[in-house]
Amino acid sequence: MRDPLPSNTYLDAAPDAIYVADAEGRIQFASRRGVAMLGRAEPAELMGRSFREFVDHEDVHLVLDMLRDARRGPTEMRIHPHGGPALWAEANAERVASEDGRASIVLVLRDVSRRKRAEEELLAAKAEAEEAAQRLVRSLRALEREAATDGLTGLWNRRQLEQVMAVELARCRRYTQVASLVLLDVDHFKELNDRFGHDAGDRALAAIGKAIARTARATDTPCRWGGEEFAVLAPGVSAIAAVRLADRIREEVARADCGVPGKVTLSAGVAQLDPTESLEQLLKRVDLALYQAKAAGRNQVELAPGRGDSPEHRLFQLVWDPTYECGDALIDGQHRQLFALGNAVMDEAMSGAPREVIRLRLAALLAHTVSHFSDEEQLLERVGFSGRSQHMSLHRALVDEAVRLDGLLEGGRVGVQELLNFLVVRVVHDHLLGADVAYFPTVAAGPPGGGREAGPADGPK
């Protein structure tokens, strides 16, 4: 039988470890370097031993693959020599056949431990460098945030807001979107500082900053403009809606505990971004509106002339009139709130706000309307209004229509025109100025039997 390999002398001189194994992986031959790699002194110590005995248990499947395939390219595996440290080897295998037809597997292994160590050290160094880079990025971000944040209030500072406003103004120019700026100033802050000290003034400013932050939307950018002035940039918000935002902030600050005796109030100016003007022109307009709010007596909001203050915009605002009052304080107050909530829905719809925002406004309107209808029906029963049952049917129809509109909004199948028709025509014109007026004389006359009974609307005497 002819040996399938060259002479032992030639194989022993090879720089790599060479083995011949049968189809089951039992060693039939090992070169001099092969014997040394497995930690043995003589080839006889390896004869008949399974090559898998010397391979890490997690890499045994690699050996099985090599025995199964006719030819197997470079495969890295861990070898455990007898009595020595583990090493990494790169193995190649090829199936050969002797003259009697028996198959043998020739395994050629090269010790690559040094290269693997270098690779592992390189990977470790790379991981360490990446972690150092991430730490640096986090530190830079922290420094950037610190540089952009007001240390006293935790709000953004003026420099940061000016950068955001420049971007927002460019976006408004490109996509014809709306945004508004609210500028707020603490009323009589110098007197507060003179009377209670600068530490008290700082506490008040910090409390005001927190009140502004919790009142503003997640998409707004509130900042400390400087000194006792604050600002809020409100993207996607028309001027009229921004006036209501400023009012909410003013009311929140008035309710807040600012760490000084008495109530702290704000004056505010509001301006809608005009794509045709510069940032400097916008700031002049909103600053003038703030000055007018202060000159008019403070603790109020003024809207700057320009975008959002046009006759076309105000045409779609529900304006309350005293002639709409029925004489019951609770119902009249609810009707005024209905106007305010209806305006909020129309403002968001006309400003192109996302339908999720419009749905939130409509949900608030619907919740108020349901509560109002319940109180109104109790009033009609108390005063003995003869058309109460028919009026209740009108209430149910309006609620059903509002729910239908909400469903269409969710699917993106309702437009501004349908919302305007529902609010202006159905709610205000048909119901409040039509059906509701029918019970006004009955409310004025009082409950049957004479003598007006005290109800929830009357409040304490």
Positions marked active-site: 228
* Residue 450 Rama label (left phi>0; alpha psi -120 to 50; beta): left
Residues 124 and 158: their CA atoms lie apart, in Å, by: 43
CB atoms within 10 A of CB 406: 16
CB 358 within 8 A of CB 409: yes
Q: Which of 75, 81, 45 lies closest to 63 in space, CA to CA? A: 75
CB 185 within 8 A of CB 266: yes
Residue with tokens 């509560």: 371
- CA 242 to chain CA centroid, nearest Å: 21
CB 326 within 8 A of CB 436: yes
417-420's contacts with Cβ under 8 Å and 24+ in sequence apart are: 419/345, 419/346, 419/349, 419/358, 419/362, 420/316, 420/346, 420/349
Radius of gyration in angstroms for the set of CA atoms belonging to the chain, rounded to a whole number:
41
CB 30 within 8 A of CB 18: yes
